[in-house]
């Protein structure tokens, strides 16, 4: 392996960089005593969720109340009111700021916790302390004064934790929805007017379960998403991330553009377990970006490659930034359906990134890794094979039809067994023995619907195998550190999902989603009426007035998704976008699965779209390049992700799992021509195919590639007419070069 470059960042610098660009980690410095309390508090929070995943989750309002209480405690203690330099410093001796936390943060935190737990305490009614509160079923639709008070506190506290963790954009959008709900009769546009709700009824809808804050969004995040975020952090720190990078080096390092291809492959691997594109960028980019620069790649391009590849992890099965679990819940389909549907679209993204990387390396004539610089396959697998055991167990449980939180429970416990328990540390063996006991209990009739004998046998074998390997283990303090960081990552996702529950509640209360959908389709119809006389002469159904209207509707929705998704965690942006954009797409006759995938893809694109592209900015910090230019490079490299949602909306056969659209012939035609089109566009973007591709030939290649991506036989024929001359020109250039 090559030695680290002088400009390669050390672990502390990378951690500082991650804290700078990932708001989930930018916390203030509390007093040593409070820091210790919060550290063990996050560990206890993680262990609570791990226990409930395996042994049963409390009833919804209880579990979500506990989860929200944890968010309030950790966020109000850890995140300052204003993001000023002095807000993060520890200034001892401040009477009005115990532990370096201002007294108003302590007050808001306590009120928020009380509001989150009040439903639990009053669910069966309260008849003590001078209170006469009926049970919740009798208060639904007619909240008491205490319900209104605590509901108001909860709404404001949830908006505040979202602002502190991910910025003002999401709370501002939610505030607009709240104003719309409260002042419906006064909306300027007739189509947007509705009777409105008063504050009591608004709080009723947002506070009581089933809608609003205590709705399906927070439930899925607290029972599934949290566990997978935790799994990703623990697995990566256990060694699985390095194992992925080493295997990516072996698989791609020897080919043209080796360092950049290693970045793409390793980020794709890492993205399968990571819920954060920034964490993905920093973890793999710390190695790949300096190596790319060392081989001659421009800094902005090296950072762009890493950012684009890392953002692809959010759409790469099996975890997909955890949004896939919410998608399965919303669509009421098995999780495996979402995973299968996501495979081909994700491949198109990586085909695009890999092709641009390849032809850019050809154009710049960059060297590749030598054999001596690459890891040894046998050594990598001998020293790291065990790190993949938890991921195997997680996938086996997941695809055996068990719940995602049970899969995460087994994955996390096997991370502990594989990474931290060893025969030479006898006290640690209590974990694998306890896990074996759990597996056999789940396989017994006493557990009800438990593991099948075959599954129990496989999991027991993996547990024993993970306990017996002779490679180096970490200590349990490292495990607790991983739990601590995992909880920190989950705070922003949890805060955003709780806040987005307000949007979902407003949409359910007012029907604004369908009103906005109607406005989009009407606006697209007006634009189509103007454009059709100019384009209608083209002999294609796509240029009919109806075809133009549908395309413009999709473009408008895609732009809205990119703008609204800016700076939000993948899970939160998916929740909000699907609530707002899905009704508009359904009015166009698009299948529900395709609409959900469509908004997820365009929401994720916001992560590499300037000016708000945190992944690209983190990559620029490692590359030492201009952040905006790095963002442009990342966006350009992600063109495959930009185009493919249009393909599966027009041709849902690409998603495989929709039987009314799928035939093998149509699937192959759409998928292969889309892949070929993405490949051709990559040559135009990089300016190279067989030889440099310049001038008009580059433009023709781009247009031909777009026609090839479009899912129709007619467009494929047009693309051939355009691309054959380009290919012939390239062949002539090759011959001239040979003869020169």
Q: What is the pLDDT of residue 436?
A: 93
Q: What is the pLDDT of residue 148?
A: 93
Asked if the model's pLDDT at residue 334 lies above 90, the reply is no
How many percent of the chain have pLDDT more than 90?
24
Q: How many residues does the chain have?
A: 740
For 259, 275, 633, the CA distances from 252, given in Å and listed in that order, are 8, 24, 21
Asked if the model's pLDDT at residue 257 lies above 80, the reply is no
Span 57-79, average pLDDT: 94
Q: Where are the alpha helices (DSSP H) in 471-587?
A: 476-510, 512-535, 545-564, 570-587
Q: Whose structure tokens read 């610098």?
A: 13
The two structure tokens encoding residue 35: 């820091």
Angle at 614 between CA 677 and CA 573, to 5 degrees: 75
Contact 342, 242 (CB under 8 A): no
Most confident of 214-223, 314-323, 441-450: 214-223
CA atoms within 13 A on the CB side of 388: 15
Q: What is the pLDDT of residues 90-136, one digit of tens each?
A: 777 677 888 889 999 999 999 999 999 999 998 888 877 667 788 88
- Tell me the C-alpha distance between 559 and 577, whole Å: 11
The two structure tokens encoding residue 276: 């954060």
Select from 261, 271, 262, 266 the least CA-distant residue to 316.
271
pLDDT greater at residue 601 or residue 272: 601
Which are the contacts of 731, defined by CB distance < 8 A and separation ≥ 6? 690
- Tell me the C-alpha distance between 50 and 31, whole Å: 28
Q: What is the pLDDT of residues 632-671, one digit of tens each?
A: 888 888 877 788 898 999 999 999 999 999 999 999 999 9
Asked if the model's pLDDT at residue 30 lies above 80, the reply is yes
448 torsion bin: left (phi>0), alpha (psi -120 to 50), beta (else):
left
Count Cβ atoms below 10 Å from residue 728 Cβ, excluding itself.
10
For 395, 452, 664, the CA distances from 447, given in Å and listed in that order, are 22, 11, 42
Q: What is the pLDDT of residue 1?
A: 40
Q: What one-character-per-residue DSSP string does 267-331 give?
A: HHHHHTT-S-HHHHHHHHHHHHHHHHHHTT--HHHHHHHHHHHHHGGGGSTTTGGGHHHHHHHHH
276 falls in which pLDDT band (50, 70, 90)? low
3-state helix, strand, coil in the chain (%, to 5): 75, 0, 25
Asked if the model's pLDDT at residue 363 lies above 90, the reply is no
- Which phi and psi angles does 121 have, rounded to 5°? -70, -30
Q: Whose structure tokens read 């359904």?
A: 586
Rg, the chain, Cα only: 27
8 falls in which pLDDT band (50, 70, 90)? very low
Select from 53, 41, 25, 475 the least CA-distant residue to 237.
475
692 DSSP β-pair partners = 688
Greatest CA separation found in the chain? 99
- Tell me the C-alpha distance between 193 and 42, whole Å: 45
133 DSSP β-pair partners = 126
Asked if the model's pLDDT at residue 10 lies above 60, the reply is no
Q: Whose structure tokens read 């995040």?
A: 221
Count Cβ atoms below 10 Å from residue 487 Cβ, excluding itself.
27
Q: What is the pLDDT of residue 681?
A: 92
585 falls in which pLDDT band (50, 70, 90)? confident
- Tell me the C-alpha distance between 679 and 698, whole Å: 13
What DSSP designation does 375 have?
P
For 394, 408, 415, 588, the CA distances from 344, given in Å and listed in that order, are 22, 25, 29, 23
pLDDT greater at residue 409 or residue 209: 409
Which are the contacts of 215, defined by CB distance < 8 A and separation ≥ 6? 209, 501, 504, 505
Q: What is the pLDDT of residues 437-471, one digit of tens each?
A: 999 998 887 766 688 889 999 999 999 998 887 77
């Amino acid at each position: 392996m090559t030695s680290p470059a002088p400009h390669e960042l050390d672990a502390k610098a990378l951690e500082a960089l991650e804290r700078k660009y990932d708001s989930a980690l930018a916390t203030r410095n509390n007093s040593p005593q409070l820091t210790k309390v919060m550290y063990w508090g996050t560990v206890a929070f993680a262990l609570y969720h791990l226990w409930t995943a395996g042994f049963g989750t409390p009833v919804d309002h209880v579990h979500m109340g506990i989860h929200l209480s944890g968010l309030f405690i950790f966020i109000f203690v850890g995140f300052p009111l204003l993001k000023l330099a002095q807000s993060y410093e520890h200034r001892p001796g401040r009477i009005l700021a115990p532990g370096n936390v201002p007294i108003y943060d302590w007050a808001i935190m306590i009120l928020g916790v009380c509001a989150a737990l009040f439903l639990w305490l009053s669910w069966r009614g309260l008849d003590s302390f001078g209170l006469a509160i009926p049970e919740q079923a009798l208060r639904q639709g007619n909240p008491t004064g205490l319900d209104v008070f605590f509901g108001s506190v909860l709404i404001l506290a949830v908006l505040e934790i979202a602002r502190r963790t991910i910025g003002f954009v999401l709370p501002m959008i939610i505030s607009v929805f709240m104003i719309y709900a409260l002042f419906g009769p006064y909306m300027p546009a007739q189509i947007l007017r509705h009777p409105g709700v008063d504050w009591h009824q608004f709080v009723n809808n947002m506070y009581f379960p089933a809608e609003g804050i205590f709705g399906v969004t927070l439930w899925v995040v607290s029972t599934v998403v949290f566990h997978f975020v935790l799994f990703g952090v623990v697995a990566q720190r256990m060694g699985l991330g390095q194992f992925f990078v080493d295997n990516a080096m072996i698989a791609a390092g020897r080919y043209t553009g080796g360092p950049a291809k290693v970045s793409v492959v390793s980020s794709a691997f890492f993205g399968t377990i990571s819920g954060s594109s920034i964490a993905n960028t920093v973890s793999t980019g710390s190695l790949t970006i300096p190596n790319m620069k060392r081989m001659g790649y421009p800094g902005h391009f090296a950072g762009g490659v890493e950012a684009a590849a890392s953002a692809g992890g959010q759409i790469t099965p099996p975890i997909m930034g955890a949004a896939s679990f919410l998608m399965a819940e919303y669509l009421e389909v098995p999780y495996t359906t979402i995973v299968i549907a996501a495979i081909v679209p994700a491949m198109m993204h990586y085909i695009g990134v890999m092709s641009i990387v390849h032809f850019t390396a050809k154009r710049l004539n960059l060297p590749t890794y030598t054999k001596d610089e690459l890891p040894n396959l046998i050594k990598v697998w001998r020293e790291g094979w065990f790190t993949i055991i938890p991921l195997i167990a997680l996938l086996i449980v997941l695809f055996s039809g068990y719940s995602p939180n049970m899969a995460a429970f087994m994955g996390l416990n096997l991370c502990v067994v594989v990474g931290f328990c060893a025969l030479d540390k006898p006290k640690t063996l209590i974990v694998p023995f306890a896990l074996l006991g759990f597996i056999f209990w789940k396989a017994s009739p006493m557990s009800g619907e438990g593991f099948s004998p075959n599954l129990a046998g496989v999991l027991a074998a993996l547990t024993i195998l993970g306990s017996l390997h002779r490679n180096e283990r970490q200590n349990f303090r490292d495990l607790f550190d991983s739990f601590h960081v995992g909880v920190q990552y989950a705070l922003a996702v949890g805060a955003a999902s709780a806040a987005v529950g307000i949007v979902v509640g407003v949409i359910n209360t007012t029907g604004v989603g369908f009103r906005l959908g109607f406005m989009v389709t009407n606006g697209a119809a007006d634009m189509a009426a103007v454009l059709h006389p100019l384009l209608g002469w083209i002999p294609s159904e796509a240029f009919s007035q109806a075809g133009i209207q549908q395309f413009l509707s999709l473009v408008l929705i895609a732009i809205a998704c990119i703008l609204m998704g800016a700076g939000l965690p993948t899970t939160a942006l998916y929740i909000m976008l699907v609530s707002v954009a899905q009704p508009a797409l359904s009015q166009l006759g698009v299948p529900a699965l395709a609409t959900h995938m469509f908004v997820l893809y365009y929401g994720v694109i916001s992560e590499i779209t300037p000016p708000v592209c945190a992944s690209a900015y983190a990559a620029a910090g490692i590359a030492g390049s201009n952040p905006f230019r790095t963002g442009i490079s990342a966006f350009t490299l992600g063109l495959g992700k930009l185009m493919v949602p249009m393909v599966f909306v027009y041709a849902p056969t690409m998603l495989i799992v929709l039987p009314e659209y799928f035939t093998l012939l149509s699937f192959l035609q759409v998928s292969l021509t889309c892949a070929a089109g993405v490949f051709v566009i990559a040559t135009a973007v990089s300016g190279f195919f067989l030889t440099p591709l310049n001038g008009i030939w580059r433009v023709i290649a781009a247009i031909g590639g777009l026609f090839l991506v479009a899912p129709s036989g007619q467009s494929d024929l047009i693309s051939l007419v355009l691309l054959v001359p380009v290919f012939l020109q390239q062949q002539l250039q090759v011959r001239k070069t040979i003869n020169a």
